[in-house]
């Protein structure tokens, strides 16, 4: 499949799949609490409604930041599904999150301030693990490009089990699910109002919602990459991971931010970094870089440069 | 239109009283009743909510909180009063600090009586509120879609109730600006407004005609101009001439329709309605920057300020009519 086709499929299908996943999430959560739960299409109803509501803003520019948040999340997923560089994907993802934080800061309300600060802490917590995931995949597949990694003949998870566990941990934070729903949560009313999203209403809130759909699909796409050599297993595992995240959401209470940060870094060091150390020991010494290629180009310049002045010297 | 009926987000506030209805409302979220199956989310944030659900009678402490929350809900919004205390004040009605039901502070759309209101009744009330919510949305959309067909006309006595209702809605933003809900426009009665239609301010100022028993001059009568969309008044201004100066008073535009040039057109209509006036004078409160901006844009300039109440200082604006260029 050509990268452009994959990109277009992502742009069209991701909000639909993401919305359905969000609907399932609420339904399954309700069933876990022995409730009936809302219809599967509920997230779409919510977004349609939000688009028709009056938009109240504290500052007009706050929705401008949100627009860039949405745009960059779509861009991140687009890069990923078009098979581009994983590092670039990670940086685009970070930039997107930064725009959301800026939007929340712009609204200058104490609740959205707390939400924004906690979001920054969360980013500090998951960012190293996400980067190590990219590095680990590079070490196995010898390329940062998603389309090369996807073509790797073996299951990546077999050589990267630690990285996979660490990535799952980062995923819990990224999905804003229960042990780590510090910055904005459906359940955190009493202490935070709605944290990061407190001051957004109407269309702005709908944009955040749609951005999350795109983001979730992108993150599950990354889970798929661990199992890319067997597509059926990959899709199955992506759905299983999503189910696992919902289960954890319903089982755990919220952590304090200190605990979230410490545990995330501990997991990163033990599982993520440990996996990479083991991997580099197993692989032995990496092949020396082709440094010799640079030398021939430099040589003629060195020989010709002193040649000219010497010929002009009077003897 | 999908949306409003399927996704009501509720903000729940307990004003006072015994907390019985408060607990029954939260019982709606439990597995037995599970209102989430109707798409209901109990948000803790007014800016995300569609339905404002209030339990308990209103006392001096909760009064401002209720008003504050109500103004933070984005349109369209619906208020549901749950329990007899929220409907009328209930057994607490005669207490010294109770101002009555929720409707003594903000407009209420659905009343759910009961002591305490049962969860079934509360869910019924919310479902009923959904109908109101959707209707409000349709009205809003219908009005917004025909904004290019605004008609500017003279208003008459029959329009008084509608103008009064509009005045109370439009001045809510001023209440927020000045933190004072005793502004005269909000205190005006229907009778008072109807009487305005028969006032001759020029005569009141001079007092001459009345003393001489002469019939008042029709040209001095107070003029009401209205902006009408789909038969509904969305803006109005009243004005009167004294000598060759026309005074503008109480320019109001419905909050949905602000920033679309309606206020500006109303001011221009005033100039047309008084062709012989050479000078136009308007006054606004000192914090109504929107009004200042509009007036300045139309060539008015501020010429004096005058303290009115501790909260409000009047700013006077004037404009000389520029002679029409001859073609």
Query: What are the tens digits of pLDDT across the range B105-116?
Result: 888 899 999 888
| A54 min Cα distance to partner chain B (Å) | 5
pLDDT digits (tens, 9 = 90+) for B116-152: 889 999 999 999 998 898 888 887 777 766 666 788 8
**With an 8 Å Cβ cutoff, are A193 and B72 in contact?**
no
Q: How far, in Å, CA of A234 to CA of A229, rounded?
A: 8
State yes or no: pLDDT of B207 exceeds 70. no
Are A142 and A153 in contact by the 8 Å Cβ rule? The answer is no
* Average confidence score pLDDT of chain A: 84
- Give the residue from A36, A47, A48, A53 with the most B CB atoms within 10 Å of its CB, the best one to mutate: A53
Of A1-5, A218-222, A301-305, B15-19, where does mean pLDDT reach its minimum?
A: A301-305
Neighbours of A290 (CB within 10 A): 7
Q: What is the mean pLDDT of residues B301-324?
A: 82
CA distances in angstroms from A264 to A129, A166, A212, A257, listed in the order given: 8, 8, 21, 10
- Can you list the pairs that B217-222 forms with residues at least 24 positions away whose Cβ atoms lie under 8 Å? B221/B197, B222/B196, B222/B197, B222/B198
Where residue A70 falls among pLDDT bands split at 50, 70, 90? very high
Q: Which of A45, A56, A188 sits opposite B3 (nearest CB)?
A: A45
**Which chain A residues are within 8 Å of B141, Cβ to Cβ?**
52
ipTM of the assembly? 0.77
- Within 13 Å of residue A243, how many CA atoms lie on the same side as its CB? 8
The token duo for B247 is: 């005074």
pLDDT at B138: 83
Would an 8 Å CB–CB cutoff place A59 in contact with chain B? no
The token duo for A246 is: 């919902």
**Which chain B residues are within 8 Å of A250, Cβ to Cβ?**
none
State yes or no: pLDDT of A194 exceeds 50. yes
- Give the residue from A27, A31, A33, A35 with the most B CB atoms within 10 Å of its CB, the best one to mutate: A35
Helices (H), chain B: 20-27, 60-72, 84-88, 119-145, 160-170, 172-178, 184-187, 190-196, 201-206, 208-212, 262-273, 289-297
The token duo for B97 is: 């600090």
Provide the β-strand partners of residue B238: B224, B249
**With an 8 Å Cβ cutoff, are B41 and A39 in contact?**
no
Q: Which of B34, B44, B72 sits opposite A189 (nearest CB)?
A: B44
**With an 8 Å Cβ cutoff, are B74 and A53 in contact?**
yes
pLDDT at B246: 85
Distance, C-alpha B307 to centroid of its chain: 24
Would an 8 Å CB–CB cutoff place B26 in contact with chain A? no
State yes or no: pLDDT of B266 exceeds 90. no
Measured between CA atoms, the residue of chain A closest to residue B75 is: A54
Neighbours of B262 (CB within 10 A): 20
**Which chain B residues are within 8 Å of A198, Cβ to Cβ?**
45, 47
Helices (H), chain A: 3-32, 42-52, 61-81, 86-106, 110-141, 146-150, 156-159, 161-174, 189-192, 203-226, 231-251, 257-267, 274-283, 295-312
- Within 13 Å of residue A299, how many CA atoms lie on the same side as its CB? 5
Whether the full predicted model's pTM is greater than 0.90, yes or no, is no
Provide the β-strand partners of residue B42: B10
pLDDT at B323: 62
pLDDT at B218: 66
- Give the residue from B27, B41, B45 with the most A CB atoms within 10 Å of its CB, the best one to mutate: B45
SS3 B43: strand
State yes or no: pLDDT of B73 exceeds 50. yes
**Which chain B residues are within 8 Å of A35, Cβ to Cβ?**
31, 34, 36-37
């Amino acid at each position: 499949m050509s990268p452009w086709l994959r990109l277009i499929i992502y742009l069209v299908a991701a909000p639909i799949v993401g919305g359905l996943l969000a609907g399932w999430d609420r339904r399954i959560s309700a069933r876990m609490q022995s409730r009936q739960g809302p219809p599967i299409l509920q997230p779409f109803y919510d977004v349609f409604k939000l688009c028709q509501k009056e938009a109240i803003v504290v500052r007009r520019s706050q929705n401008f930041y949100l627009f860039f948040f949405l745009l960059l999340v779509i861009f991140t997923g687009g890069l990923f599904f078009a098979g581009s560089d994983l590092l670039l994907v990670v940086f685009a993802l970070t930039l997107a999150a930064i725009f959301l934080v800026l939007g929340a800061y712009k609204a200058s309300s104490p609740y959205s301030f707390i939400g924004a600060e906690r979001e920054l802490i969360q980013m500090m917590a998951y960012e190293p693990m996400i980067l190590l995931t990219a590095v680990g995949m590079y070490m196995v597949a010898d390329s940062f490009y998603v389309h090369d990694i996807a073509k790797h003949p073996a299951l990546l998870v077999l050589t990267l089990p630690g990285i996979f566990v660490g990535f799952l941990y980062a995923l819990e934070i990224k999905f804003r699910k229960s042990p780590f729903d510090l910055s904005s949560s459906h359940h955190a009313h009493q202490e935070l109002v709605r944290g990061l999203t407190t001051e957004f209403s109407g269309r702005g809130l709908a944009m955040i919602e749609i951005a999350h759909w795109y983001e979730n699909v992108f993150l599950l796409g990354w889970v798929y990459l661990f199992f890319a050599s067997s597509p059926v297993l990959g899709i199955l595992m992506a759905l299983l991971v999503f189910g696992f995240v919902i289960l954890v959401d319903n089982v755990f209470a919220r952590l304090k931010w200190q605990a979230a940060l410490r545990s995330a870094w501990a997991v990163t060091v033990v599982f993520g970094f440990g996996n990479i150390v083991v991997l580099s020991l197993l692989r032995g010494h990496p092949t020396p870089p082709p440094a010799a290629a640079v030398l021939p180009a430099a040589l003629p310049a060195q020989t010709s440069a002193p040649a000219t002045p010497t010929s002009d010297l009077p003897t | 239109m999908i949306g409003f009926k399927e996704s009501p987000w509720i903000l729940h506030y307990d004003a006072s009283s015994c907390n019985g209805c408060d607990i029954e409302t939260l019982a709606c979220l439990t597995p037995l009743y599970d209102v989430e199956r109707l798409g209901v989310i109990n948000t803790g944030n007014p800016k995300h909510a569609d339905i404002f659900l209030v339990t308990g009678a209103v006392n001096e402490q909760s009064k401002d909180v209720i008003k504050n929350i109500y103004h933070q809900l984005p349109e369209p919004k619906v208020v549901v009063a749950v329990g007899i205390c929220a409907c009328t004040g209930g057994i607490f009605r005669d207490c010294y600090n109770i101002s009555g039901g929720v409707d003594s502070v903000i407009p209420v759309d659905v009343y759910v009586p009961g002591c305490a209101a049962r969860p079934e009744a509360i869910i019924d009330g919310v479902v009923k509120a959904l109908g109101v919510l959707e209707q409000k949305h349709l009205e809003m959309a219908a009005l917004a879609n025909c904004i290019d067909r605004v008609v500017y006309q003279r208003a008459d006595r029959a329009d008084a109730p509608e103008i009064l209702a509009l005045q109370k809605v439009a001045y809510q933003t001023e209440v927020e600006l000045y933190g004072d809900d005793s502004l005269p426009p909000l205190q005006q009665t229907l009778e008072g407004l109807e009487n305005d239609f028969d006032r001759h301010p020029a005569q009141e100022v001079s007092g001459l005609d009345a003393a001489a028993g002469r019939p008042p001059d029709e040209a001095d009568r107070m003029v009401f101009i209205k902006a009408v969309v789909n038969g509904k008044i969305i803006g109005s201004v009243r004005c009167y001439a004294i000598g060759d100066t026309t005074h503008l008073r109480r320019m109001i535009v419905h909050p949905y329709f602000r920033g679309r040039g309606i206020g500006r057109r109303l001011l221009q209509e005033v100039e047309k309605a008084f062709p012989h006036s050479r000078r136009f004078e308007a006054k606004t409160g000192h914090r109504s920057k929107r009004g200042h901006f509009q007036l300045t844009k139309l060539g008015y300039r501020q010429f004096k300020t005058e303290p009115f109440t501790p909260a409000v200082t009047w700013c006077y604006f004037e404009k000389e009519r520029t002679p029409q260029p001859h073609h």
